[in-house]
Chains A and B, each alone.
Chain A
Amino acid sequence: MKKLLTATAAAALLAGTAQADDHEVKLGIILGFTGPIESLTPHMAAGAEMAMSEVTESGKLLDGMSVMPVRADSTCIDAGAASAAAERLITSEGVKGIMGADCSGVTGAILSNVAVPNGVVMVSPSATSPALSTAEDNGLFFRTAPSDARQGEVMATILMERGMEEVALTYTNNDYGKGLADSFAKAYEDKGGTITINAAHEDGKADYSAEVGALASGGGDLLVVAGYVDQGGSGIVRSALDSGAFDTFHFPDGMIGTALEENFGDEIDGSTGQHPGTDSPGVAKFQEMVGDSFEATSPFAPESYDAAALIMMAMQAAGSVEPGDYKDHVMDVANAPGEKIYPGELGKALEIIAAGGDVDYVGATAVELIGPGESAGNYREIIFEDGKIETVKYR
């Protein structure tokens, strides 16, 4: 029995060493496969894995190295579980970089508890909290999603341009809602707007008439709802319409989805909104590549593809898979100067980098990293006409 155990252990050891050979690098994908955004994460993970297999098939990464994705569950809300999952990826799987995490709260937790102590690069496709811009990261943290500080400004600009100088504001009571509401309130008041009332709402309530009563008392040209379309946000809108408190609204990204058209249709005609989006040709190429294998239009799926692609191109530029070496090259490959790289051209990009050339990764979401390594952010401004979401313009 003892011999058998030793033999198994030895075999396991051998297998372990065999996996860590020179021709394979592992990248972690930490997303909330369970929890509040579990319907989005499969598409996000598929996007990242598509970029990895594209690179593996090209055989151009550091002399034909293959890239192995390893998934782990961030749960989106449980910082302890997310940190444990990340710890496992780094210590037992030996990943050299992390595509993730998704929700702002767990992303911050993984960054400070696991990624920074272990010196591993993280590129989040979807964490938008402004607080992450100033987090202590030793240059290890990047995101292909824009900070909500930027969205707050875009939102303020849109409203001022439309002549809305007095609005009521309600936000969902969590990191996302509070962060967005704060950045919007600041930007809007700097531009001379007035917020008549700034009130939180809890998700998952059956009745929002008390909240809407207070909002109506504040009054204003329209109501800004920084919430979730599948949650309290729609409840607020329904209640505001029913009681006649407001009939036009402004929606940030968490509220925009087909559910909004289905729930309200032409009742909210004239309402406006914005969400991350771009008219760059990268989107169409990405959708074409994806085909039917998963939903290319699902939120943050293209951002995930870009996040994974950035890690691999930075590795190529550094000539090393070690996070400490390649972290300084992420900004270089993401921004100009250099040849523009669209989805499906990762092999070409690796070739250019290997030959000593420069690339400017555009990818599926027109990536442009600014400041502390976050997307500059392109937004699609929308308006409701005849119960449908119509694009006004991109900004």
Chain B
Amino acid sequence: MIDFLNAIVALSNFVLVPAVTYGSQLALGALGVTLIYGILRFSNFAHGDTMAFGTMVTILVTWGLQAGGVSFGPLPTALLALPFGIMACMALVLVTDRLVYRFYRDQKAKPVIFVIVSIGVMFIMNGLVRFIIGPGDQRFADGERFIISARDFKEMTGLREGLALKTTQGITVVTAVIVVALLFWFLNRTRTGKSMRAYSDNEDLALLSGINPDRVVMVTWLIVAALATVAGALYGLDKSFKPFTYFQLLLPVFAAAIVGGLGSPLGAIAGGYVIAFSEVMITYAWKKVLTYLTPEALEPDGLVQLLSTNYKFAVSFVILLIVLLFRPTGLFRGKAV
């Protein structure tokens, strides 16, 4: 019995908790991608760097607050700075839309042109972030580090395995739930949300029924900026902020959105968790857990690891390929890519 509990705790500590946290961060990122795809009809490759920009502003404001002696008790100060990051990010995407995307929208450019344009935007944002905060690692987490640390858990329960739950992991999951609930309420219950969905389903019909396209586009960008900043800031708080890792995040985020079904918000969330759990579980060495679960004679000698952790990113690629081959619309019947 004790062995079984130890196995569960070890599994939670090294697989479940990190995967749920990472999955929530991916889901928030994928929601932004999927909204752009559903409503503005293109794959926004600049999304990773939009996240980086929002996070950067959050970090700068956090440092300002920390220098001014403001703190948020046991919670990270960055949560107080988050609204500023969101506003700056909103301003950035609106300006980008005005200067770049609107030009191509007026020309009724093909989606592939938008994709190429978004790659250009990505490089500019990339440069902007590096120019302002530099290419290095930035840490901005403060406050209480743990909800419960591995050592305390072991003392409390007397188990051999510890379970650590970081404050940032808790905050990530709670924030993700709140943000997703708000988003669904907005899309399903409010007039603007409904007009966005109508515009996404059938643009011409929506225009005929008097929906203002400029307003829909603007609101979409505002929501995307908020989602991107929240996702980026949570990822940065939980792990660390470095412009290059946000650029790399683009792959799992897109994989999540496509696996779930592009254009489907529910799919983006499911996709985020699918990608996160597969990445963590396939590269996890199961020896520890199996040692607790199996009788002594059957204990594994090897590490029982399917793939070395070096191939973590390859996992999202493979899942992406499988989904595109067998179910191009994704798990939740989004639009075909």
Within A186-200, the residues touching B (CB, 8 Å) are 197, 199-200
- Residues from chain A with a CB closer than 8 A to the CB of B239 are 206-207
Distance in angstroms from A201 CB to nearest chain B CB is 8
Main secondary structure of the interface of B (DSSP, over half): helix
Mask, B8-30, CB within 8 Å of A = 1, is 00100111001000100000000
Q: Is B41 an interface residue when CB atoms closer than 8 A count as contact? A: no
Main secondary structure of the interface of A (DSSP, over half): mixed
Q: Is A18 an interface residue when CB atoms closer than 8 A count as contact? A: no
Q: Is A218 an interface residue when CB atoms closer than 8 A count as contact? A: yes
Distance in angstroms from B309 CB to nearest chain A CB is 5
> Do A218 and B287 form a contact, CB below 8 Å, given A209-B18, A244-B154, A244-B164?
yes
- Residues from chain A with a CB closer than 8 A to the CB of B279 are 210
- Residues from chain A with a CB closer than 8 A to the CB of B286 are 217
Distance in angstroms from A170 CB to nearest chain B CB is 10
Within B135-157, the residues touching A (CB, 8 Å) are 145-146, 149-151, 153-154
| A214 (CB) vs chain B CBs: closest residue | B285
Distance in angstroms from A212 CB to nearest chain B CB is 8
- Residues from chain B with a CB closer than 8 A to the CB of A217 are 14, 284-289, 303-305
Q: Are A243 and B150 in touch, CB under 8 angstroms? A: yes
Within A205-245, the residues touching B (CB, 8 Å) are 205-207, 209-214, 216-219, 235, 242-245
- Residues from chain B with a CB closer than 8 A to the CB of A242 are 145-146, 150, 164, 166
Interface residues of B, count at CB 8 A: 41
Q: Are A206 and B309 in touch, CB under 8 angstroms? A: no
- Residues from chain B with a CB closer than 8 A to the CB of A210 are 18, 279-280, 283-284, 309, 312
Q: Is B310 an interface residue when CB atoms closer than 8 A count as contact? A: yes
- Residues from chain A with a CB closer than 8 A to the CB of B18 are 207, 209-210, 213
- Residues from chain A with a CB closer than 8 A to the CB of B166 are 242
- Residues from chain A with a CB closer than 8 A to the CB of B154 are 244
- Residues from chain A with a CB closer than 8 A to the CB of B305 are 214, 217
Distance in angstroms from A215 CB to nearest chain B CB is 8
- Residues from chain A with a CB closer than 8 A to the CB of B284 are 210, 213-214, 217
- Residues from chain A with a CB closer than 8 A to the CB of B308 are 199-200, 214
- Residues from chain A with a CB closer than 8 A to the CB of B162 are 243-244
> Do A218 and B164 form a contact, CB below 8 Å, given A206-B235, A243-B13?
no
- Residues from chain A with a CB closer than 8 A to the CB of B175 are none
Mask, B58-99, CB within 8 Å of A = 1, is 000000000000000000000000000000000000000000
Closest 8 CB pairs of A and B: A244-B150, A213-B14, A217-B285, A206-B239, A244-B162, A214-B285, A217-B288, A209-B18
- With contacts A173-B310, A216-B288 known, what are 12 further pairs, Cβ within 8 A? A207-B22, A207-B239, A209-B18, A210-B18, A213-B18, A217-B286, A217-B287, A217-B289, A219-B288, A242-B145, A242-B146, A244-B153
25 A-B pairs, CB-CB below 8 angstroms?
A197-B285, A197-B303, A199-B308, A200-B308, A200-B310, A204-B242, A205-B245, A206-B240, A207-B18, A207-B22, A209-B18, A212-B14, A213-B15, A213-B280, A213-B284, A214-B284, A214-B285, A214-B308, A217-B285, A217-B304, A235-B240, A242-B164, A243-B164, A244-B150, A244-B162
